[in-house]
Amino acid sequence: MNRTKPKLAIHKFSSCDGCQLALLNLGESLLELPKYVDITHFAEAGPNNPNAKVDIALVEGSISTPDDIERIKQVRENSAYLIAIGACATTGGLQALANLADRDAWMAAVYARSDTIETLSSSTAISEHVKVDLELHGCPVNSQQVTAALADLLVGVKPVSERQPLCMECKRKGVVCTMVTKGEPCMGPVTRTGCGALCPSLGRACYSCYGPAETVNDGALAQRLQSLGLTTEAVARRFLFITSGAPPFRDAGLRLRPPPLETDE
């Protein structure tokens, strides 16, 4: 007997579409997915039915316009289980940097006429507006984590979320520490794992697109980064970057350098 497949919707809010793209890049598992779920809404891939009631909703993007607020409430109402995916949906994203800046000045600097722009005074995570059942981090999200969460939900089990620091993943994968060998200003020790240690495995410092790990000792890391030659300003910018809306990073950054962010950089 063929049971009805659970319905899945993928919604976009204020974002670059990169997380949806990450899902499209899943390859074979993306083709396998429709065997187990009915994708009712995924505008980037075709199906367009944003108001359908679904079992699982994946939400990309932050809330940054009055319309976003109304829409996310609707999505929440229509979805039994809501997963926020990616840095924007979980922390407010890169655009949350404006929360710390003189927004009007930035607007005037970017747009010829700012009176046609309708925006909220801040860009915030989905969880600040509606109940979120699961957050999957990253810029973009790791699509393997998304399918693992779906696999759990399909059998009625609560998905687990990764919270350990990236260092653990680097060490498990045998990736050599870029900070210890090359003095790279790596954010790995305070950053949530899940990316597969992508940057360090290419010899580059982690810039924390997954946001804060379970334990964040920002003071000790900031001191270390400064001893590697970074200015206080530069250290602050490493915390205030893609996930500046995540409280541990926002607070860390603001401790190092009070707002507002200047527009000329």
Name which position in 53, 73, 173, 255 contacts other proteins (CB under 8 A): 173
Shortest separation between residue 155's beta carbon and other proteins, angstroms: 5
Q: Give the binding range for other proteins (CB under 8 A) out of 8-16, 29-37, 64-72, 100-108.
A: 29-37
Judge contact between 123 and 245, C-beta under 8 A: yes
220 is an interface residue for other proteins by CB under 8 A: yes
- Cα 182 to Cα 150: distance, rounded to the nearest angstrom: 39
Beta-carbon contacts of 113 under 8 Å, excluding residues fewer than 6 positions away, are none
80 is an interface residue for other proteins by CB under 8 A: no
- Paired tokens of 185: 């200003």
Name which position in 53, 182, 204, 255 contacts other proteins (CB under 8 A): 182
Shortest separation between residue 186's beta carbon and other proteins, angstroms: 7
- Cα 225 to Cα 230: distance, rounded to the nearest angstrom: 6
What's the DSSP call for residue 241? S
- Cα 2 to Cα 96: distance, rounded to the nearest angstrom: 45
Sheet holding 79-85, edge to edge: 38-42, 7-12, 54-60, 79-85, 134-136
| Minimum CB distance to other proteins smaller for 73 or for 158 | 158
Name which position in 22, 85, 130, 150 contacts other proteins (CB under 8 A): 150
| Minimum CB distance to other proteins smaller for 65 or for 164 | 164
Judge contact between 209 and 159, C-beta under 8 A: no
Binding residues vs other proteins (CB under 8 A): 29, 32-33, 35-36, 147-148, 150-152, 154-158, 160, 163-165, 167-168, 171-174, 176-177, 179-182, 186, 188-190, 203, 214-215, 217, 219-221, 223-224
